[in-house]
Chains A and B, each alone.
Chain A
Amino acid sequence: MIAFLALAAAAAMQPEFCGQTPYGTGAGQTKPFICSRAQEDGGPSLNWPSKKATFKINTKGTEDIPSESDLDAGVSANLEFTTVRQGFSTWTALSCTDFQFTDGGLTASERVGFDFRRLDENENIVIFQNSWAHDPLVIGLTTATFNSQTGEIFDADIELNDEQYDFTNKNTNVQTDLLNTVVHEVGHFLGFDHTDKPGSTLPVACASTATMSKTSTLGETQKRELATTDQLGMCFVYPTGKPIQHCNPPSTTPAPPPIIRQIGSSLEDGCAQTSPATVWPLALLAVVHMLRRRRL
Chain B
Amino acid sequence: MRLALVAVVVFLSSTASAVALDTKSPLATFEAISQRAKVAAHVRVLYQTHRLVAEGKEAGRIVTDSHCEVLEAAFGASQGDTLVITTLGGYYGNIGQKVFGLERLVPNEELAVFLDAPGYMDGGLRVTGMNLGLYRVVDAPSLETRERPIIGHGSSVFPARDDPTPLTLGDFLARAKLARSGR
Contact with B along A138-150 (1 / 0, CB 8 A): 1111111111110
CA of A268 to CA of B84, assembled, Å:
15
Asked if B2 is an interface residue, CB under 8 A from chain A, the answer is: yes
Which stretch (A24-32, A72-80, A216-224, A233-241) binds chain B? A216-224
Q: Number of contact residues on A: which range applies?
A: 35 or more
Q: Which of A40, A114, A214, A219 contacts B97 (CB 8 A)?
A: A114
By a CB distance below 8 angstroms, the chain B residues around A258 are 91-94
Contact with A along B50-85 (1 / 0, CB 8 A): 111111111111100000000000000000000000
Closest B residue to A219 using CB positions: B21
Interface of chain A, helix or strand or loop or mixed?
A: loop
Asked if A116 is an interface residue, CB under 8 A from chain B, the answer is: yes
- How far apart are A133's CB and chain B's nearest CB, in angstroms? 8
By a CB distance below 8 angstroms, the chain B residues around A116 are 52, 60, 92, 95
Q: Number of contact residues on B: which range applies?
A: 35 or more
By a CB distance below 8 angstroms, the chain B residues around A108 are none
Determine if B6 and A147 form an interchain contact, defined as CB atoms under 8 angstroms apart. no
CA of A137 to CA of B99, assembled, Å:
15
Determine if B10 and A184 form an interchain contact, defined as CB atoms under 8 angstroms apart. no
Asked if B24 is an interface residue, CB under 8 A from chain A, the answer is: yes
Q: Which of B76-120 contact A (CB under 8 A)?
A: 88-101, 103-104, 106
Asked if B129 is an interface residue, CB under 8 A from chain A, the answer is: yes
- How far apart are A79's CB and chain B's nearest CB, in angstroms? 20
A215-B93 contact in complex given A164-B25, A271-B49, C-beta closer than 8 Å: no
Asked if A134 is an interface residue, CB under 8 A from chain B, the answer is: yes
CA of A271 to CA of B56, assembled, Å:
24
A122-B21 contact in complex given A214-B4, A269-B92, A281-B95, C-beta closer than 8 Å: no
Determine if A113 and B59 form an interchain contact, defined as CB atoms under 8 angstroms apart. yes
By a CB distance below 8 angstroms, the chain A residues around B173 are none
Determine if A141 and B99 form an interchain contact, defined as CB atoms under 8 angstroms apart. yes
Q: Which of A111, A145, A184, A188 contacts B59 (CB 8 A)?
A: A111
Q: Which of B3, B52, B55, B60 contacts A194 (CB 8 A)?
A: B3
By a CB distance below 8 angstroms, the chain A residues around B132 are 137
By a CB distance below 8 angstroms, the chain A residues around B59 are 111, 113, 115, 117
- Enumerate the 6 nearest inter-chain pairs by beta-carbon distance, A residue then B residue, closest first: A281-B93, A113-B60, A148-B96, A258-B93, A115-B60, A188-B100
